[in-house]
Amino acid sequence: MLKISKLTDYATVILSFMAKNNQRVCAAMELATATGIALPTVSKILKALVNAKVLISTRGAKGGYLLAAAPDKITVATIISALEGPIAVTECSISQQGCEQAAGCNISGHWNVINRAIYNALESVTLADMIKPQETLIPIASLYRIENHNVSQ
Amino acid sequence: MLKISKLTDYATVILSFMAKNNQRVCAAMELATATGIALPTVSKILKALVNAKVLISTRGAKGGYLLAAAPDKITVATIISALEGPIAVTECSISQQGCEQAAGCNISGHWNVINRAIYNALESVTLADMIKPQETLIPIASLYRIENHNVSQ
DNA sequence: ATTAAATAGGACTAAAATAGTCCCCAATGA
DNA sequence: TCATTGGGGACTATTTTAGTCCTATTTAAT
């Protein structure tokens, strides 16, 4: 199904909340309450986002988390790779080792093309887009081919 | 990491082999030998591809599998959805139920845009592309934005 | 100084998804 | 009629993901 993990999905919810409250430090506890996600899980996600430099943290009393950049500078690609590592459709596209498949694997170059395309798609949507009301979007769809979904599935 | 499953990866290897031997019926056993993938696993994949109408099967002695269409009509999107179901980055993009996340989930529309973009990317590459020598490709990359990968990850 | 409120890091467990195998049935050609 | 080949589905094992918890560290307030 080629899906993102639950944690990544949560991350977008958390970050959307923070984007709406822009420039205010939020404690993990507050975010847990606001989103309905359990505190330990929220913490885990926030830690990952800090490591990926999507968030900045301050420790100690009155500490918490803050977006490291403006919402329109934080892309979905960034969020996904913060929680799941590099965006790559196959293992072999990450490690340049190539796979051990004996025969017929000269395909990796093609996966790279696909990866690039997907990466660009994910790079085209930002946190700022995500907190816009739904009507105002559909813009990037026009960047991509919409026609001929004709092969049966 | 947003990756396809191992089985899907195998499927592309198997289908590539078949595309190169186009218009010849291949038995599961032959494909297992040719690709180095275990027979039961190959069978499982072939069954899924038949169900998705990517392959046509003939039973009985001298039976086997055949591509249901020309390699340039079989897209990567089709192969992935044959093995993994509909291509959708989030659960909620499939079932229109919406998610149970209490607060702040008006995001689904945005995921749909992303799904569409990814789907089109996967739809742009066919089996025929995959069996081409690597030099001859990189075409669809130009359909997508390549610039500004500037947000840190 | 001490304490309370926060995050950091990492170990651990539980749950779910994926991969892989196997068995018995149905079809077909020799 | 028998050997060969696919069909369907159950089952097990493995791996990944999700979720929790514990201990240490930092900092503001008193």
Q: pLDDT digits over B123-140, tens only?
A: 988 999 888 876 544 444
- Is the pLDDT at A104 greater than 70? The verdict is no
Domain range summary for chain A, segments of one domain joined by +: 6-143
What are the backbone angles phi and psi of residue B151, rounded to the nearest 5°? Answer: -75, 130
Q: pLDDT digits over B62-76, tens only?
A: 999 999 999 999 999
Q: How confident is the model at residue B25 (pLDDT cuts 50, 70, 90)?
A: very high
Measure the CA dihedral B23/B27/B30/B34, to 10°. 50
Q: State residue B80's pLDDT score.
A: 96
Which residues of chain A have a CB within 8 Å of the CB of B1?
84-88, 94
**Residues A125-141: what's their mean pLDDT?**
69
Identify the weakest region by mean pLDDT among A36-45, A140-149, B9-18, B43-52: A140-149
Tokens of B63: 């039976």
Contact B34, B17 (CB under 8 A): yes
Identify the weakest region by mean pLDDT among A101-115, A129-143, B102-116: A129-143
CA-nearest residue of chain B to A85? B1
Q: Mention the CATH class of domain A6-143.
A: mainly alpha
Positive or negative, the CA dihedral B19, B20, B25, B30 is negative
Q: State residue B106's pLDDT score.
A: 54
What Å value separates CA A59 and C1' D10? 53
Burial (Cβ within 10 Å: 0-12, 13-18, ≥19) of residue A42: buried
- Is the pLDDT at A133 greater than 50? The verdict is yes
Tokens of B145: 């934005």
What are the backbone angles phi and psi of residue A72, rounded to the nearest 5°? Answer: -80, 0
Task: Report which of residues B150 and B92 the model is more confident about.
Answer: B92
Closest Cβ opposite residue B101 in set A36, A91, A118: A36
Q: pLDDT digits over B73-123, tens only?
A: 999 999 999 999 998 887 665 544 444 444 445 555 578 778 888 898 899
**B59 strand D contact, CB < 7 Å:** yes
Q: How far apart are CA B126 and CA B124, in angstroms?
A: 7
